[in-house]
Structures are given as C-alpha cells and as structure tokens.
C-alpha cells in the first residue's frame, strides 16, 4: 500500500540552486502532494555566503523547475524566510508561512533538523550529493573553475546573465 501524500517543506539558502537541490525537489514532487520551498536567509546582508538576493534565488529555482516540467505539473510553491535571533522564532516563522499542516521537512542540515524535530515534525534526512554543494560552486566561481556542471543549465545561464561570477568574486 502506498503512503498517503503530504505537504512537504524543503528549507535552504540555495546560494546558488544546484543539481543536488534539483534532485531533492524532483524526489519530493513524486511523494508529496504539495512541495513548499523555503528560501532561507531572505534578509541576509550580501556576503560570500549569501551573494544572491532572495528574488534572484527564486528566479533560479523557478527556471530550473520549469525546465524539468516540475512547475506547473506539481504543486510547488515558495516562501521567503528571514533569519531570526532565536531558533524558536525562526521555526515558528517558517511554519506560519508554510502552514501548520506541514507533515515532513526535507533537510541535510543538522540545525534545521533539530528545529523541526523539537516541533515533532517528521524530518527526512537528505544526504549531500558528493562533489555538489553551493559552497563548492561559489569556490569554483572564484577560481574560474567549471562550476557550470554543478548547476542546472538554466541556473548557469541566469547567473551568467546577472553577472553572478563577478558578484561572487567581488565578495571573496
């Protein structure tokens, strides 16, 4: 018997959205009747860790998901989540924006896992795809490495269009 589909939440900074993120959303779309992508650190100051605005990150994600027909085929929506002083306030903000009926949170981040387990929400642990992380993508940008292979083609094109490499280098 198949498991009943549910509302699922994927929390990340997506700085930038990469192939590992795309794999997660693709998997979520198959088992969740609603996927909410929480774009974190929406209010963060521009830095090497957070070089792209929340609007730019949403655009990256939408372009990648549309190219795979995940949007509009599946119910995928976005929320923008500000950093907060306390874990309690942050978690409550996420649930207020996503709705209290979130059944599952998908994350590979220990801190995020802890925040939602404290609310007794099921956490699906994501394993990092070897060789793919946003930190690595940003580092490859700085070093003039081949970062394009680590992100969906639509994201690479968008980052080229907005001068993403120059921005990351300027913050290094």
**CATH number of 137's domain:** 3.40.50.620
Q: What is the mean pLDDT of residues 125-154?
A: 95
pTM: 0.94
Rounded to 10 degrees, the C-alpha dihedral 128/61/43/101 comes to: -80
Q: 4: pLDDT confidence band, cut at 50, 70 and 90? A: low
Enclosing domain of residue 147: 6-171
pLDDT interval class at 3 (50, 70, 90): low
pLDDT of residue 100: 78
Q: What is the mean pLDDT of the chain?
A: 95
Indicate whether 122 belongs to any domain.
Answer: yes
User: How many domains are there within the chain?
Assistant: 1
**Residue 92, pLDDT above cutoff 70:** yes
Q: pLDDT category, 1, cuts 50, 70, 90? A: very low
Output 158-166 pairs: Cβ under 8 A, ≥24 positions apart. 158/56, 158/59, 158/60, 158/63, 159/16, 159/60, 162/56, 164/16, 164/51, 164/52, 165/141
**1 lies in some domain:** no
pLDDT average, residue stretch 125-141:
93
pLDDT digits (tens, 9 = 90+) for 71-89: 999 999 999 999 999 999 9
Mean pLDDT, residues 103-122 taken together: 95
């Amino acid at each position: 018997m198949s498991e009943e589909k549910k509302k699922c939440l994927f929390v990340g900074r997506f700085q930038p959205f990469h192939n590992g993120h795309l794999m997660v959303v693709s998997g979520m779309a198959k088992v969740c009747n609603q996927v909410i992508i929480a774009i974190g650190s929406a209010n963060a100051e521009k830095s090497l860790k957070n070089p792209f605005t929340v609007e730019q990150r949403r655009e990256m994600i939408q372009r990648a998901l549309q190219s795979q027909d995940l949007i509009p085929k599946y119910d995928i929506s976005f929320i923008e989540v500000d950093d907060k002083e306390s874990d309690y306030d942050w978690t409550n903000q996420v649930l207020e924006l996503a709705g209290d009926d979130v059944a599952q949170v998908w994350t590979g981040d220990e801190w995020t896992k802890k925040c939602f387990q404290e609310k007794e929400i099921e956490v699906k642990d994501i394993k990092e795809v070897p060789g793919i992380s946003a930190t690595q993508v940003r580092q490859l940008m700085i070093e003039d490495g081949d970062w394009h292979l680590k992100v969906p083609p639509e994201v690479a094109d968008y980052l080229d269009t907005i001068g993403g490499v120059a921005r990351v280098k300027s913050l290094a």
